[in-house]
Structure 1
Amino acid sequence: MTRPDDQTLEAIVRGRLSDPFATLGMHGSPPAITVFAPDAGAVTVLDGDGEPLGVMERIHPEGVFHLPFSKKRKPFAYRLQCRAGDHVWEKDDPFRFGPVLGEMDEYLLAEGRHEELWTRLGAHPVTHEGCKGTAFGVWAPNARRVSVVGHFNAWDGRRHPMRRRGGGLWELFVPAIGAGDIYKYEILGAYGDVLPLKADPVAFRMEPAPGTASIIAGALDHVWRDTDWMASKRRDLRDQPVSIYEVHLGSWRRGDGDNILSYAEVGPMLAEYVRDMGFTHVEFLPLSEHPYTPSWGYQPIGMYAPTSRFGGPDDFAAMVDHLHGAGIGVIMDWVPAHFPSDEHGLARFDGTALYEHQDPRQGFHKDWNTLIYNFGRSEVSNFLRSSALYWLRELHVDALRVDAVASMLYLDYSRDAGEWLPNREGGRENLEAIGFLRDVNTQIADRSHGITIAEESTAFPGVSRPVDQGGLGFDFKWNMGWMHDTLQYMAEDPVNRRWHHDKMTFGLHYAFSENFVLPISHDEVVHGKGSLLGKMPGDDWQRFANLRAYLGWMWTHPGKKLLFMGSEFGQSREWSHDRSLDWHLLEDPRHAGLQALVRDLNRLYRDHPALHARDCAPEGFRWIDGGDAANNVFSYLRLGAEGDPPVAVICNMAPVLRDDFRIGLPLSGRWTELLNSDAADYGGTGSGNGGLIMADGQGWHGQPVSASITLPPLATLVLTPETRGS
């Protein structure tokens, strides 16, 4: 190969070389080597045994060196010895190595079907052609040049430009760097400008804020101990008890000096607490990397990287493993709806609207000042779909709660007339997003044991119905309507509740149209909404009694359960991500009593199939009397499979004790009072029925028999027959 011409030399030193492997490295027959080493005063080529083969000629003053080998005919292994003053070092030339990606990678990415994208893109420590280093891969189809930069090359994008592959892929093997090294991509954009340095979209670890670089992570060192758990997982949980404790990891509990605890520190404490409380699952607010802490993780940049705020990927894996060892499932909020516009992230990644839409009427969320993914672009959908599988398969997360699904489904979501574009059929549905959601749910079902839960607040049909039946394919959907209606009812003074009785009963009209989770989430205790306890009316006694009665209603109502941290013991202050929960409140018997109630509700829900086996089926619920608005009383039956004892629930939402209150029951004989939210142990008055109730032959409420009971004020009673009766 002849020496590069002046135009090529200028392209090298100005960082404008779009095809570095055509010039740098070894080429031709006889071969010649060209290297760019701006930090070297002299460069010597060494053979495979370290013997000098010749000193290279400096052919450009800014550090381009060239050496032909007229006596050799074939390529050969070599290294470079560099000298700057008295400093001498050796290195491997990255441009002597062959590709690390294959044609199948190009094809699958272009097709949008690279379902294990994380195995090829990102940064992977490897031994390549006998040399240890790191293989990088990134998608940037409109870039003119992409370089890997970091401390290892003085953040100089001219030194490690990448090889362009088909399908918009760029790749490079960089010798002698590995786990722990930080890096970014320097991109010469589509219009010839050098973009702000970009973090790796498929990075597995990121720098702690305020740093924004990616970190080479390598394979997990963590040795999983949850083999039995993973093997025994069920995908269909509709007939199982599912009680979810929602957690913001940075504020659940803090250490001395209000310091944030690491994954390793908080994992054992959280597992012990959740198991003691009887919850079946923990749901974490997003733990994917995000630059802005007050976003709580809902504006992620690292869709494959556990946030470094609490440690590295191995620490995250250890926490998941610890929870599994305690019998606790792990759910994580996952955010494919939008991403922040931070310049080091995905925004205009290659100088064009690559991950997002060009038109802000399609690509910008004005509510959150974020960008919307272009779900119609196969590579973007592939990127997101693969992220979901990564958390489920590689990090052993059991379920993903998909955030802001409503904003994905509708093109006019939170937009005024003229601020959105209709779909190809003239409608408001985001057909590409709908297709993406169906696809990701299908892939998760086919390729993992994970499940998905939709945060979706509209009446979009079939959210939790299978894709082959025309649904979106989620396993569950948050019942936002139930949450809003029932909290509005509870906020009313009891004297006015009779006029709002339907707020508590309306949800039963659609309770089985989807597989629902009943969510009392973080969204209800922030932004001036106050705490869950603070929503309850009346004096201190009434507020606690109201909340106990409401939680009794929630735990016996059809649907899986979700409760945000702190609500289980009556957190008084509105939640803040900047401080720990107020655990000292448990020194107050009223707060400790509320916590004891939630613990017993979880036990009750788990131990009595009538309360969970038909959570998602209309056969599991029957009103005893849903129309007693005058007394603010609701009564109903929960029914399990054949042979499961029924459970009767009576909720008194008035601060009035009702003696000799007759309630219809399906079976005669002795009934046991399984739970009374007004029990003294929970901080109540202790009014009740002494644990036992006798149902006689007098029909009532359309039931064949009935019982006269004491109905405590602002209380929920749960009864079950001691025998089958007649």
Structure 2
Amino acid sequence: MPIGPSSPSSLPEPLLRVIEARHHDPFEVLGRHAVDADTVVVRAYLPQAERARINEAGIDLTRVPGTDLFTWEGPADQLQGRQHYQVTWYDRQGRVETRHDPYTFGPLLGDFDLHLFGEGRHWHAYRFLGAHHRTIDGVEGFQFAVWAPGAKRVSVIGEFNNWDGRAHPMRVRGGSGVWELFIPDLAPGGLYKFELRDGGGNVHVKIDPYANAYQERPENACILTAPSTYRWGDEQWLARRAGYNWQHSPLSVYEVHLGSWQRDEDGNFLNYRELATRLADYCVEMGFTHIELLPITEHPLDASWGYQATGYFAPTARFGAPDDFRSFVDTLHKRNIGVLLDWVPAHFPRDTTALARFDGSALYEHADPRQGEHKDWGTLIFNFGRHEVKNFLLSSALYWLAEYHIDGLRVDAVASMLYLDYSREDGEWIPNKYGGNENLDAVDFLRQLNTVSHEQHPGSLMVAEESTAWPQVSRPTYLGGLGFSMKWNMGWMHDTLAYMEKDPIYRHYHHDLLTFGLLYAFTENFVLPFSHDEVVHGKRSMLDKMPGDAWQKFASLRLLYTFMFTYPGKKLLFQGCEFAQGQEWDFDAAVDWYLLDRPQHQGIKQIVADLNRLYRNLPALHEVDFDSAGFEWIDCHDSSQSVLSYLRKSKNGKQIVACAFNFTPVPRENYRIGVPFPGYYREAMNSDAELYGGSNVGNRGGVVAEPISWMGRPNSIPMALPPLAGVVMVYEPDESVDTDTDTAGAVKPKLLVASPTPTAAASAEDSGSAAGVADDGAGATPAAAAD
């Protein structure tokens, strides 16, 4: 192609399209091209350049008058056979830039990668989309790729080209809609974005959806990152996790918002590495097996708590760099604490710099607002029927599991994905092809997400926040389920809190709120969640939900936690709930740790720690959480006294735990419950123990069963049920028991073998006992399942 006339307006169309920044394949014009067997032409488009030359050959390039296009035509051998030459250019201020010409490098993306991506089956699309440090033909630089099928031109912009979209236009790869460009001589740490020209000629500046790091808000440019050199030290953890028998293991999750868990003395955020050390120490102290992080995917607005993500492949810069987050996970794994991540595929924000109308069209979202908008949240809904969108989300999920060793994902707002009419009135939604309200594309996506995640990362957990009666959420896909590992038990949480918020004098009218949950408790693999959602937006703190005076509030909260830790299902508590935070959660301030200077709050913290250890060390409380074989009512009908009692049983049936709960402030002496076997029942937990701030009404360490038939069982035990308290009695058939007589003449069992933990200072002989289970002193490992 000749250079053309001197008038820009009369240049050949391909050259004119480059000059006007609207060419879909600038390689057609720029770079080196053969004119004939011996002659080549070199073209470089250099905005703001005053003059330019080809370095190695000492060839001066000629400016096409009236343009920033520089050319040279001459003998091919004058380039000394160099495939990749350097261009040096000088701007009007005399600054000099020397770079390899990016338009001498051929296509780098493989056809197979593009094919799989187009079919929605490329599990690791993040490895070729985005920006990646590469060495091509001995030249270092960054390879850029972005999916934007509706764009007419896409450019890489950044500090290296003064954010000028004319400088580095990309080429589109056929009908894939993927644009690519290798820019040589770029170093890690630089900033970049994409500039897109849509079909209407409008220009949009967007962040890279696949970027691995961003600036800290309010800035939002993407950061060029080199491959991580972080050296992991969690090999043993990952090996154990692969064989993790989580269904029959203790799983107690501490839900954390990193921005408000702890801060420094000046109220500033802590770094990932410092947070890791503090969290690991705290979780080991408290007995939690896992933490669950509110979303740490990059997001622009603190007030969204991370739920309006713009960077699906980048940990937020608020707390450090990507390798800092790797260290965070590694540190917790080394302390035998698992890390779950809150992940949000249900919606994304409307920020004009991110995914919304990415290439000028409804690309990631549905065009029709009846399918593509969440009015409640002011966000957009992913188009799960589009292969490339589905691939984006699948790749994001696998990215966190693979690149950051995350142990599982809690998938947010699953119900909003499953139902086309979620939070919509008639006429505001479009039925599926069968006329129903099920989002069939979202169902297919979730099944694929769970299948691939479990296949690629054995032992990882996929947990659904799903609030409806959609069947088989946590059942395998080959049985027609959605394939999640577990599901949050929102019904149990709502009913239990509704009951506990009522004045005890009225609770007997609402007894069914506590018993109804057992009708469906084993239809799913449930997690019992007291999460962040329950302590915000006027719902009050967990402590403040409890009725009555201060003593009753703390007693009721201890009772509630005892009920939770003995009820079938895995456990989750949000930060601050474990020591009775007084106020609602504030995302913009640290938790009120000063409250631990007060005995009542210290008592709540102690009972949660002891409940965690009790739960972890008694197989009956964790081995059979998802099957009715592990649970049996003793009495669910005593509504008149607001008392509940049930048995928990281990997998082999050898361990029996009897649990009784008094939901009134009236102590009940000699309350008799039926038990299956004769022998000694040790009081392993009493939430009314003085250690926890209770009144110390209890059973002097334990009770010997009497051969009195009760509640359909051949034996029974007379118990002291403290006010607003739960009591956990462990059957010990081989326990040696001696008896003596107290001053009142009552027979008093004396425990000779087992004893309360060192932390449980209340005397088991005198009255209310604390957790009488040996402390193993560490977080539960994935291999800690007792068979």
**3-state DSSP class of the match of 1:41?**
strand
Aligned position for 1:496: 506
Residue type at the aligned position of 1:42 = R
Aligned position for 1:720: 730
**3-state DSSP class of the match of 2:585?**
coil
Aligned position for 1:456: 466
1:3-46: CA deviation from partner (whole Å, max 9, x where unpaired): 25343443223212221000000111322100011232211113
Aligned position for 2:237: 229
CA distance in 2, matches of 1:33, 1:294: 52
Residue from 269, 285, 288 that aligns with 1:260: 269
Residue from 352, 357, 362 that aligns with 2:366: 357
1:43-64: CA deviation from partner (whole Å, max 9, x where unpaired): 11133xxx41x21111133321
Confirm or deny that 1:376 pairs with 2:385.
yes
Aligned position for 2:201: 192
Confirm or deny that 1:429 pairs with 2:434.
no
CA distance in 2, matches of 1:35, 1:100: 21
CA distance in 1, matches of 2:671, 2:112: 73
1:354-409: CA deviation from partner (whole Å, max 9, x where unpaired): 00000000000000010000000011001100100000011100010000000000
1:71 to 1:161, Cα distance in 2 relative to 1, 3 A: closer
User: What aligned pairs does 1:273-672 form with structure 2 within 5 A after superposition?
Assistant: 273-449=282-458, 450-642=460-652, 644-672=654-682
Confirm or deny that 1:249 pairs with 2:232.
no
Choose 31-40 or 585-594, whichever is displaced more.
31-40
Confirm or deny that 1:60 pairs with 2:60.
no
CA distance in 1, matches of 2:126, 2:99: 28
Q: What TM-score do the two structures reach when normalised by structure 1? A: 0.98
Q: Tell me if structure 2 keeps the 8 A contact 1:9–1:60.
A: no
Q: Which runs of 4+ in 1 moved over 6 A?
A: none
Residue type at the aligned position of 1:223 = R
1:304 to 1:443, Cα distance in 2 relative to 1, 3 A: same
Aligned position for 1:165: 173
Q: Tell me if structure 1 keeps the 8 A contact 2:83–2:104.
A: no
1:270-300: CA deviation from partner (whole Å, max 9, x where unpaired): 1100111000000000010111110101110
Residue type at the aligned position of 1:76 = Q
Shift of 1:236: 4.4
CA distance in 2, matches of 1:585, 1:76: 69
CA distance in 2, matches of 1:662, 1:351: 71
Q: Tell me if structure 2 keeps the 8 A contact 1:406–1:413.
A: yes
CA distance in 2, matches of 1:465, 1:569: 35
1:635-677: CA deviation from partner (whole Å, max 9, x where unpaired): 0000112253110000000101111111111111111100000
Q: Tell me if structure 1 keeps the 8 A contact 2:347–2:382.
A: yes
Aligned position for 1:17: 23
CA distance in 2, matches of 1:129, 1:112: 31
CA distance in 1, matches of 2:245, 2:346: 25
1:406-459: CA deviation from partner (whole Å, max 9, x where unpaired): 000000000000000000111000000000000110110111132200000000
Aligned position for 1:693: 703
CA distance in 1, matches of 2:157, 2:437: 43
Aligned position for 2:741: none
CA distance in 2, matches of 1:360, 1:724: 67
Residue type at the aligned position of 1:423 = N
CA distance in 2, matches of 1:719, 1:356: 54
Aligned position for 2:131: 123
CA distance in 1, matches of 2:395, 2:76: 50
Instruction: Work out the percentage of aligned pairs sharing the same amino acid.
Output: 51
Aligned position for 1:7: 13
CA distance in 1, matches of 2:687, 2:65: 83
1:71 to 1:462, Cα distance in 2 relative to 1, 3 A: closer
1:644 to 1:622, Cα distance in 2 relative to 1, 3 A: same
CA distance in 2, matches of 1:87, 1:565: 54
Residue type at the aligned position of 1:329 = G
Aligned position for 2:159: 151
CA distance in 2, matches of 1:521, 1:26: 61
| More contact order relative to length (CA 8 Å, sep ≥ 6) | 2
Choose 322-331 or 30-39, whichever is displaced more.
30-39
1:486 to 1:46, Cα distance in 2 relative to 1, 3 A: same
**3-state DSSP class of the match of 1:663?**
strand
Aligned positions, number: 721
CA distance in 2, matches of 1:60, 1:460: 68
1:89 to 1:342, Cα distance in 2 relative to 1, 3 A: closer
Residue type at the aligned position of 1:433 = A
Shift of 1:325: 0.8
CA distance in 2, matches of 1:289, 1:121: 18
CA distance in 2, matches of 1:333, 1:384: 14
Aligned position for 2:89: 82
Shift of 1:158: 0.5
Residue type at the aligned position of 2:572 = L
1:361 to 1:89, Cα distance in 2 relative to 1, 3 A: closer
Q: What TM-score do the two structures reach when normalised by structure 2? A: 0.90
Residue type at the aligned position of 1:519 = P
Shift of 1:605: 0.4
Q: Tell me if structure 2 keeps the 8 A contact 1:332–1:401.
A: yes
Shift of 1:135: 0.6
Confirm or deny that 1:201 pairs with 2:206.
no
Q: Tell me if structure 1 keeps the 8 A contact 2:84–2:100.
A: no
Q: Tell me if structure 2 keeps the 8 A contact 1:198–1:344.
A: yes
Q: Tell me if structure 2 keeps the 8 A contact 1:26–1:75.
A: no
CA distance in 2, matches of 1:714, 1:452: 36
Q: Tell me if structure 2 keeps the 8 A contact 1:667–1:725.
A: no
Q: Tell me if structure 2 keeps the 8 A contact 1:639–1:647.
A: yes
1:55 to 1:517, Cα distance in 2 relative to 1, 3 A: same
Gaps of 5+ in 2: 5-10, 737-787
User: What aligned pairs does 1:21-100 form with structure 2 within 5 A after superposition?
Assistant: 21-28=27-34, 29=36, 30-47=39-56, 51-52=57-58, 54-72=59-77, 76-84=83-91, 86-100=94-108
CA distance in 1, matches of 2:218, 2:84: 42
CA distance in 1, matches of 2:91, 2:326: 44
CA distance in 2, matches of 1:89, 1:572: 60
Gaps of 5+ in 1: none
CA distance in 2, matches of 1:87, 1:551: 68
1:435-491: CA deviation from partner (whole Å, max 9, x where unpaired): 000011011011113220000000000000000000000000000000000000000
1:77 to 1:136, Cα distance in 2 relative to 1, 3 A: closer
CA distance in 2, matches of 1:439, 1:397: 19
Residue type at the aligned position of 2:61 = M
**3-state DSSP class of the match of 1:82?**
strand
**3-state DSSP class of the match of 2:579?**
coil
CA distance in 2, matches of 1:282, 1:60: 64
Q: Tell me if structure 1 keeps the 8 A contact 2:84–2:101.
A: no
